[in-house]
Amino acid sequence: MPRKSLSTFSNLNKEELLNIVRIEAGERINDSLLVVAGRIIDLPEWSCTINIRTGEDVTDFMKKWTNKFLNGHANRPSRRTSNPIGTQHDPILDEIISSRINRTTEDLERIKYGHRLSMSAENIAGGFLEEYIAEKLISQGWHCCWGETMKSIDFCNVDDQLLQVKNSDNSENSSSKTVRDGTTIKHWFRRFSRTGATNWSALNELVKIQDENEHLDEVSFKTFVRNAVINNPGSIFLEEDSPFHGNDNQNNDS
């Protein structure tokens, strides 16, 4: 089944396409959906690609696009249940570690499961970052492109600006950078990988937040993540045979 972006269709009528979005969304409609839909209609080359069957037209595209956006929002990290880690532990890692440091079998089990738990957390960190920014910046007119509904673009605003967000300065892949080069797409990353310093001041300046009380920062982000995980522990997958299983932190506010 071929994948198509909105740019493959001609004679795009913005109001007609937005009306398709409104009807398809029904009671699920929200401001961000309409803002992002408006951006892909204005800039169809930046829309995501969607599977379109033979005989389906732009109406079908917009219906599928709408559901992709809404499903992305409904399954944001604070609401979703993470999938199990797909790879099995490689026992050669235990041999390497035990050859370097003198540890018991119990120690090695804790290292193994601690590493896998860290992997689960790392897999969702970028999603939490987007959700935090979305929650904080919606009042500033910025909206998240939930469900990856714009190509390599994470946020857009009511003033037609586009923004890519990364968790670290070394987490950007070449395709994302290629998409941005030569365009007006803004780019921001949270963390400098070599120093561990954070970069929130650059984001506050980029989105022009004048009131310091409205600034995004690392303390606020950590609070957001902690509350999100405590309220939805399933957002981080924890294996049943892990020594950490049953040690949930839901009732620990420290």
Residue at a domain's end among 48, 74, 100 = 74
Beta 162-168 vs 155-157: how paired, if at all? antiparallel
Residue 81 lies in a domain: no
Residue 244 lies in a domain: yes
Q: Quick one: 66 and 150 in the same domain?
A: no
Q: Please work out, in degrees rounded to the nearest 5, the angle formed at the alpha carbon of residue 50 by the alpha carbons of 49 and 53.
A: 135
Q: Quick one: 146 and 218 in the same domain?
A: yes
Q: Quick one: 239 and 150 in the same domain?
A: yes
Residue at a domain's end among 36, 51, 74 = 74
Q: Quick one: 96 and 55 in the same domain?
A: no
Q: Quick one: 4 and 64 in the same domain?
A: yes
Residues whose CB is less than 8 angstroms from the CB of residue 5 and which lie 6 or more positions away in sequence, other chains included? 44, 45, 47, 48, 49, 50, 151
| 25 vs 13: CA distance, rounded Å | 18
Output the pLDDT for position 254: 41
Structural domain boundaries enclosing 127: 89-249
Q: Quick one: 68 and 97 in the same domain?
A: no
pLDDT per position in the chain (254 positions), as tens?
789 999 999 989 999 999 999 999 999 999 999 999 999 999 999 999 999 999 999 999 999 999 999 999 999 999 999 998 889 999 999 999 999 999 888 999 999 999 999 999 999 999 999 999 999 999 999 999 999 999 999 999 988 899 999 999 987 654 455 554 546 899 999 999 999 999 999 999 999 998 999 999 999 999 999 999 999 999 999 998 899 877 666 544 44
Q: Quick one: 48 and 93 in the same domain?
A: no
Determine contact, residues 203/196, Cβ cutoff 8 Å: no
Residue at a domain's end among 47, 74, 101 = 74
Residue 82 lies in a domain: no
Q: Quick one: 50 and 155 in the same domain?
A: no
Q: Quick one: 97 and 223 in the same domain?
A: yes
Residue 79 lies in a domain: no
Question: In which residue are the tokens 């987490």 written?
Answer: 171
What is the pTM (predicted TM-score) of this model? 0.90
Output the pLDDT for position 248: 65
Q: Quick one: 70 and 152 in the same domain?
A: no
Total count of domains within the chain: 2
